[in-house]
A = this chain, B = another copy of it.
Amino acid sequence: MPSAGEDMDTWIEQDRTDRKSDADRARTVPDTGTLGKAVAVLDVVARAERPMRFRDLREAIGQPPGTLHRQVSNLISEGLLQVNPDHSYGLGLRLLQFAARAWSGNRFREIAEPHLAALHEKTGETVHLGVLSDLEVIYLDKVESRQAVRMHSQIGNASPCYCTGVGKAALSALPPEDAWARIARVDFRRHTEHTLTDAAVLGEELADIRAAGIAFDREEHETGIHCVAAPIRSHDRSFVGGISVTAPSYRIAMAQLERWADDVRAAAAAINADIEIRLGPRA
């Protein structure tokens, strides 16, 4: 919408420019057509902090009411979306059903499971398994002593790749050009005072991580929490991820994390070997 001060022509010109850059993007980013628009709706609902009503979706998506209404209706019919009693939208239960299968059927997770347990046994701290999904890390599994905290809260959760141990480890396992390409698209947000917020700096750290085979998160994502991580990958690097040992910094010093580095590296190496054997090119 043009602000009061601008004249109409300027705004229209602006609009043309936007359309052009959209078209440019369409050439590089694969167009997923109708499906893409549908999952965009799901994404808005998933990422929303406050309850979203129809009007809110309309603003967030920018589709005309008739169109959006049909998209939403279809999503509801398919069980991917549901309407709460207060007319706000929530994600549908069908997604839970799909996710249960996605999780139990995931070979990566299945292979890593015993190694995560062993690593937890050795360190006594929380162990994570995550894989890189575009610019985010999605946590596939978690082993911790105190089961009091419900594990659901973590599995499936996504965190940024540039400020988590698993994320940086995963990036380091990518071909460097690919890693740079992704870093270039990162929207750096400062989560703590230690968060890296510069693509160049992150790129250099990746080189170090690649050389050492170990990544550290020095309270870059959450104050008071640090971790040591190592990369895991499929043979052709179509999947990259990482495992990590996470601990509160008040209880576990960085020096201890560094002492665990070898164990983490060894566990990751064992997982990679298993992956090679069970998912490898000649499997």
Instruction: Contact check, B152 vs A155: say whether CB atoms are below 8 A apart.
Output: yes
Contacts of A73 in B (CB 8 A): 30
Do residues A98 and B104 form an inter-chain contact, with CB atoms below 8 A? no
Selected interface stretch from A11-19, A79-87, A186-194, A256-264: A79-87
Kindly state whether residue A38 has any CB partner on chain B within 8 Å. yes
Known: A95-B98, A280-B85. A152 touches B106 (CB 8 A): no
Q: Which residue of B lies closest to A278 (CB)?
A: B85
* Contact call A92/B102, Cβ cutoff below 8 A: yes
- 129-162 of chain A: CB within 8 A of chain B: 131, 133-134, 136, 138, 140, 147, 151-153, 155-158
A96 and B85 contacting across the interface, CB-CB below 8 Å: no
Of A176-184, A195-203, A231-239, the one with at least 4 CB within 8 A of chain B? A231-239
A4 interface hit (Cβ, 8 Å): no
Asked if B84 contacts A279 (CB within 8 A), the reply is yes
Answer yes or no: A26 CB below 8 A from chain B CBs: no
Contact A85 B156 (CB under 8 A): no
Closest to A134 in B: B79
